[in-house]
Amino acid sequence: MPLIFAKEGEPNLIKKVNGKDETRQFLEKLGFVAGAAVTIVSSMGGNLIVNVKDSRVAIDQEMAKGIII
């Protein structure tokens, strides 16, 4: 399921990152790679703040839809 549907505070594992090549590469540089743990810290207006690889990252709703957990 896409990351956008995950519950806040619940740890998940990334299975796949979809999207355009440039978006996928950008997310991979931030730590969104298959097998990485990701947890939603908060959600505001569809935008998410997530913990990934010991960092907090803000991503928009479109990016979150491409991250499959």
* Beta strands across the sheet bearing 55-59: 12-13, 37-44, 47-52, 55-59
Domains and CATH numbers, the chain: 3-68 (2.30.30.90)
Q: Is the pTM of this model over 0.75?
A: yes
Digit-coded pLDDT (tens) for 6-20: 999 999 999 999 999
Digit-coded pLDDT (tens) for 23-58: 999 999 999 999 999 999 999 888 999 999 989 999
- What does the block give as tokens for 34? 């298959």
Question: Which residue is listed with tokens 């730590």?
Answer: 31
